[in-house]
Chains A and B, each alone.
Chain A
Amino acid sequence: MIIEMNHIKKHFDGLGVLHDISFGVDKGEVVSVIGPSGSGKSTLLRCATFLEDIDGGEILYMGQRAAYTDADGKAVYVAPKELRRFRSYCGLVFQQFNLFPHYNILKNLTDAPMKVQGKSKAEAESIAMELLRKMGIEDKAKAYPFQLSGGQQQRVAIARALAMKPEILFFDEPTSALDPELTGEVLKVIRQLAEEKMTMVVVTHEMPFAKAVSNRVIFMADGVIVEQGDPLDVFDAPKEERTKQFLRVFEQ
C-alpha cells in the first residue's frame, strides 16, 4: 500500500470534521472521493498531505508510520526532518492551482526539484519539458501563469506536482474553479495519468468522470465513509440511503 490512514479523527475548534476514517490506496489505484460539501473530503486530503495535523489515528506511507496516536490518545508526528521525507511521497493539486505567479511555467516546474531535491538544472528542465509536452503546453514554458487559461494553469499545477516524482498524487476538486469548457482538458490529463497507472486520489464532483476513470469510489458524508466500492456498484446500485439521496441530486 502506498498510503494507509487508520481511524483518523480531526476536529476544528471542537467541531468534528473527520470521525474515525480509515482507508488505504494501493499502487496504481485510482480512487475517487465524492460527497456533499462539508463532508470532510478536502480535510481528508489535507491530512494525508500533512497540511493539517490529525487529532487521532495513524498515517502510514509505504508501510512506515508518519503519524500515530500515543498511549495518552494524542496524535504524534515523526520529527520534522523525517516528515519531509514522507511529504516527498505525495503530491497535491489544488482547486485554485496555486502556481507561483512570479516564476514562469518552466521555473514553476523546476524550482522545487532543484532547491528541494537537489537536482541539476539540466535534469530538472528535461523532466519539466517532458511533462509540459505530455500536458500539451510545451509552448508555454516561458510564459507566466497569468497569461494562461485556467485549464492550462491547472495542467501546469499537475505537471509541477509530477515533477517531484511522487508515489501518489492527490487532487482537491481540480476542476471546480474552471469553466465547464475547460474542465474537459484537465480531466483528460488525469485520465491519461490513470492509464499510465499513476496512483491517484481525486476529490471531485464530476460523477461521470469518477465512474469512468476510478477503480474505487468512496462516498463521504458528515465526516464518515458511508459507502465505498467499485464505481459501477456505488453509482448504479448504491446500498446506503444517504448515497442514493446524494446521487439523486446529480441525476436531475
Chain B
Amino acid sequence: MTFSKMLSTMSAGMLRTCGLFALTLLLSLPLGMLVALLRKSRLKIVQMLTRGFISVMRGTPLMLQLLAWYFGPYYLFGWSIRGWRFPALLVGFVLNYAAYFAEIYRGGIESIPVGQYEAAEVLGYTKAQTFMRIILPQVIKRIMPSVTNEVITLVKDTSLAFTLAYQEVFSLAKQISASQTSFMPFVIAGVFYFVANYAVEFGMGRIEKALDYYK
C-alpha cells in the first residue's frame, strides 16, 4: 500500500473523528452548564443526584462508559443494538464531557465575587438578567484556560471510539498497520491529532485574546 493510499483511506477516519469531536463539543458545552446549575440547585435531592452523576462520570474510565452505553441496552433489556454504535458513542462522550465542563463552570461561577451579585440586585436586575448579563460573561473569561485543556483532551479521547470498532482515524490506523505491517499509519494519526490540537490551541488563544479587553 502506498503512502498516498494510506492517507486517503485514513482521511475518511479523520472526518469521522472531526464529526465526533464537533458534535460532542456542541452538545456537552451547553449541557455542562445545565449540570452546573443543577449542581447548585436549592433542592437538596437535585443537588445530590447531580453530584452522584458527576462522581460516576469522573470516577470510571470513559472506555468502560462507552462499552456500557453500547452494550447496555442489549444486556439489560435484550434490545437490538443495530445502528446504535454512533449514538452510543455520542451519548458516552457528551455525558462524560458535560460532567467535566460542569465542574469547570461551577468553579468559574463560584469565583465571581459576591459583590457582583449584590450590585446587580440593588440595581434591580432579575436573577436571570444577573446571570446572563453580569455573571456568565465574566465566568467565560475566567474558565477559558481550563476549557482549552478539556477540549484538547477531547481531541485525543475520540480515539477511544476504537473500543466500539467505530472507523475513526485511530481504528483505521490500527487496522492498516496490522495488515500492512507498517508503523506509518500511526505516524499519520499522530500528526493528525497534533495538527488538530494545534488548531484548537490557536482558536482558543484567539478567543482568550478577544476577551483580554478587561481585567
Q: Which residues of A contact B (CB under 8 A)?
A: 49-51, 84, 87-88, 90-92, 94, 96, 98-102, 111-112, 115-117, 144-146, 160-161, 164
Q: Does B115 contact A (CB under 8 A)?
A: yes
Rounded to whole angstroms, the CA-CA distance of A78 and B42 in the bound complex is 22
Q: A111-B133, A145-B214 are in contact. Are A100 and B124 (CB under 8 A)?
A: no
Q: Which of A91, A98, A101, A112 contacts B125 (CB 8 A)?
A: A112
Given contacts A51-B121, A100-B134, 6 further A-B pairs with CB under 8 A are A50-B122, A100-B119, A101-B214, A102-B137, A112-B124, A161-B122
Contact B115 A164 (CB under 8 A): no
Contact A100 B116 (CB under 8 A): yes
Which of B94-139 touch A at CB < 8 Å?
113, 115-116, 118-119, 121-125, 129, 133-134, 137-138
- Which residues of B have CB within 8 Å of A88? 124
Min C-beta distance of A227 to chain B, whole Å: 29
Rounded to whole angstroms, the CA-CA distance of A116 and B120 in the bound complex is 10
Contact B122 A87 (CB under 8 A): yes
Min C-beta distance of B15 to chain A, whole Å: 38
- Which residues of A have CB within 8 Å of B137? 102
Q: A144-B213, A146-B215 are in contact. Are A98 and B119 (CB under 8 A)?
A: yes
Contact A115 B129 (CB under 8 A): yes
Q: Does B51 contact A (CB under 8 A)?
A: no
Contact A116 B118 (CB under 8 A): no
Contact B122 A49 (CB under 8 A): yes
Rounded to whole angstroms, the CA-CA distance of A38 and B9 in the bound complex is 74
11 contacts between A and B (CB under 8 A): A50-B121, A50-B122, A88-B124, A94-B115, A94-B119, A96-B113, A96-B115, A98-B116, A100-B134, A102-B141, A116-B124
Rounded to whole angstroms, the CA-CA distance of A164 and B125 in the bound complex is 12
- Which residues of B have CB within 8 Å of A117? 124
Rounded to whole angstroms, the CA-CA distance of A216 and B44 in the bound complex is 47
Min C-beta distance of B113 to chain A, whole Å: 8
- Which residues of B have CB within 8 Å of A145? 214
Min C-beta distance of A90 to chain B, whole Å: 8
Contact A98 B115 (CB under 8 A): yes
Rounded to whole angstroms, the CA-CA distance of A116 and B122 in the bound complex is 11
B213's nearest neighbour on chain A, judged by CB, is A144
